[in-house]
Structure 1
Amino acid sequence: MTAAEHRVQVLVIGGGQAGLAAGYHLRRAGLDFAILDAAPAPGGAWQHYWESLRLFSPAAYSSLPGRPMPGQAGTEWPDAEHVAEYLAEYEKRYELPVHRPVGVASVTNAGDGGLLVRTDEGDWHARALVSATGSWTRPFVPAVPGRELFTGRQLHTTGYHRATDFTGRRVVVVGGGNSGAQIAADLVGHAAAVRWVTRRPARLLPDEIDGRALFEIATRRVQDGGPRISDLGDIVATEPVRAARRAGLLTDHRMFTALTPAGPRWADGEPWPADAIVWCTGFRPALVHLAPLALRTGARGRIATTGTRAVSDPRIHLLGYGDWTGPASATLIGVGRTARQAVAEITGLLN
């Protein structure tokens, strides 16, 4: 199979919420495009989240462009399964040209001003590319001394599914963000003991701040330099988190200094025997496919962007990577606006 057999104006890599939002605006712009998704089924990362996860916002405030998310019976706050079903329906509704499962190996210069994308299902040629691969496939775990010595179970957020898997166990949850707080609260009442560990004191956002408010804050920040979300706190105070805190069952502890075969050990020598550690320590953008283009710069190896466009290559847009392309671009409600801007730039480049 040659590059000429798959030739489009724009190729989107990633079939989650960011890729679908890009597809929606590419279709409206009348561009010839395709979406490549490595997953065997639609739904993006939402099909892999833990069972108790709920959106921060009601369905009406968690929609992709053109199609409001329907509500979920019995709750104001839809769960991850509902979101995955919504994404699958969205993809079908707009007849988006998603090819799956297709694993992308690399993106290189084609020699004619275009881009050559090599995949495990053949090659593609495109004049512009939207990378919307997210970060779920690149979980990050810090290099804690003794991590390889611990004899209990270690898993990342990506491997956590339900609290009942840890019934009667002593569990350490590491991470001061939303996933750490929510998983620790989820475990309370099931695990024999839960110790929530964070690098700095946990900062819950005010109770009235949900996903709607977060999007508004992020938007104002971009438009007029308003307050940053991090100025207010780090964790959305969902009801399970608030309830566990009120009951005195969810207290954050500072980070341990090392792991022993039996569990964590703190600087003062205090041990805490544990059966499992859940690392809720974040992710890194899944961008290895762009490595041949040498877009990364600086000591931290980030791809410099203006909006979503790579500064060093106007053919490349990054969509849905949070801090790299704006916090709103990593949200259901925010990615549509960001995708629209990216497609507008791509249309200008191609015309």
Structure 2
Amino acid sequence: MASIPAKTSSLKLSLVPGPIIVGAGPSGLAAAACLADAGIPSLVFEKSESLASMWRHWTYDRLSLHLPKQFCELPLMEFPEHFPKYPSKNQFISYIESYAATHGIKPRFGCAVVQAEFDSAAGKWRVRTQFEEFLTRWLVVATGENAVPVIPEFPGLIKFYGDVIHSSEFKSGEIYKGKKVLVVGCGNSGMEICLDLCRHNASPSIVVRSNVHVLPREMMGCSTFGIAMALLKWLPLRMVDMILLFMANLVMGDTGSVGLRRPKAGPIELKDLTGKTPVMDVGALSLIKIGKIKVTEGVREITGQGAKFVDGKEERFDSIIFATGYKSNVPSWLKDGGGHFTAEGMPKEPFPKGWKGEKGLYCVGFTRRGLLGTSFDARSIATDIQLQWQLGS
């Protein structure tokens, strides 16, 4: 890496021969591995002190992959054969560590990107960290769509006397034994947190603010997602949705009868349109049916002792957990979104075109299609940069 005099600040300015990748989660590592396989070196910046920090620090203990492992592999490396069908959180982290080691990826940890912008005079991307500035022909944004926890504003929240956390801080239901807990958000995290709370003898209520698709993780011994992927090879999307919902109703019954009303669009169509993932049930629904998990309508107001709901009811709670998801942090450091990202930090072009911007800007992990989308992006980026690399050599 060559050093050249800095022109715009007192920081040391270095010229990077290959791409800079921002983020050392699964997306950043997948991009780095595909580039390395193509013979292209990359420099990976990671603001935390570890690989896959979100998986390591922001997930609950009982988490396992919601999809079978073959749908969650990163490019160029399978999961170990001895791993179960649905690897645990710790198994996935060990896979990520092995993945980085196998592909020789050594990120710069504790290195947060403060700002990045295209330098028209240099014809390159200028990337600034706390300590240095860098120029690169290619910038790969791999901070992902789930970089910053989101807690919606609720009237009265500041008055609540009990504990309030985001799901990223939840590890286990053990400390909630005997307590009444309000879980806001009915996605996969919210449902699994409720399940864990029940297993530790807490009393959870889950807020369902909108319609939601709940599907069994498996049907007839096969992964529901795997069935969907197989059917999509032969049938139109809406027909596949009809088949999935018919089978789900046979297995689960009418989820609307317990307060989990389904959207008008089918689960796959809704995922394509909005990025909203269906809930893969691993046991929470049966506890809802017997009243161990209480389903409530939207919250109108948080009180000092609990919450008032839109149906006029009021209830006391000891703790509130917001399973309300995450958002992109791209607007905080990529100037003007690089012309490629919206104000919300998502690519302007939907999948499968969102991976490539202009002037050497790329992104990986913003497809709303999980690790399968990440793999598609990473391979596409490496192929595109390889063509330019070969022409420039």
State the one-letter code of the partner of 1:193: S
Percent of aligned pairs with the same amino acid:
22
Instruction: Note closer, same or farther for the CA distance 1:30–1:221 as it changes in structure 2 (3 Å cut).
Output: farther
Residue aligning to 2:138: 128
* Distance in 2, Cα, partners of 1:220 & 1:180: 34
Superposition pairs for residues 32-71 of structure 1, below 5 Å? Answer: 32-48=41-57, 49-71=59-81
Residue aligning to 1:248: 291
Residue aligning to 1:285: 328
CA contact (8 A) 2:34 2:379 kept: yes
Q: Secondary structure at the match of 1:21?
A: helix
Pairwise CA distance, 1:100: 1.1
Instruction: Note closer, same or farther for the CA distance 1:253–1:224 as it changes in structure 2 (3 Å cut).
Output: closer
Pair 1:315-2:356 in alignment: no
Q: Secondary structure at the match of 2:384?
A: helix
Pairwise CA distance, 1:242: 3.9
Pair 1:115-2:156 in alignment: no
Pairwise CA RMSD of aligned residues? 3.1
* Distance in 2, Cα, partners of 1:258 & 1:218: 43
Superposition pairs for residues 113-192 of structure 1, below 5 Å? Answer: 113-192=123-202
Pair 1:327-2:368 in alignment: yes
Q: Secondary structure at the match of 1:272?
A: strand
User: How many residues are paired up?
Assistant: 342
More moved, 186-195 vs 154-163: 186-195
Q: Secondary structure at the match of 2:206?
A: strand
State the one-letter code of the partner of 2:132: G
Instruction: Note closer, same or farther for the CA distance 1:90–1:279 as it changes in structure 2 (3 Å cut).
Output: same
Q: Deviations over 1:104-160 (max 9, x none)?
A: 101022331101110123222110111111244411111111122212111111111
Residue aligning to 2:307: 264
CA contact (8 A) 2:355 2:377 kept: no
CA contact (8 A) 1:103 1:121 kept: no
* Distance in 1, Cα, partners of 2:88 & 2:207: 26
Q: Deviations over 1:274-327 (max 9, x none)?
A: 11111111111121221355536778675413623455x342112112xxxx33
Structure 1: state its 5+ residue gaps. Answer: none
Output the TM-score relative to the length of structure 1. Answer: 0.86
State the one-letter code of the partner of 1:344: T
Instruction: Note closer, same or farther for the CA distance 1:223–1:131 as it changes in structure 2 (3 Å cut).
Output: farther
CA contact (8 A) 2:114 2:128 kept: yes
* Distance in 1, Cα, partners of 2:16 & 2:277: 44
Correspondence for 2:103 among 94, 99, 102: 94
Instruction: Note closer, same or farther for the CA distance 1:215–1:117 as it changes in structure 2 (3 Å cut).
Output: farther
More moved, 91-100 vs 132-141: 132-141
* Distance in 2, Cα, partners of 1:315 & 1:342: 10
**Larger gyration radius, structure 1 or structure 2:** 2
Residue aligning to 2:377: 338
Instruction: Note closer, same or farther for the CA distance 1:217–1:36 as it changes in structure 2 (3 Å cut).
Output: farther
* Distance in 1, Cα, partners of 2:116 & 2:100: 25
* Distance in 2, Cα, partners of 1:222 & 1:131: 33
Pair 1:83-2:92 in alignment: yes
Q: Secondary structure at the match of 1:277?
A: strand
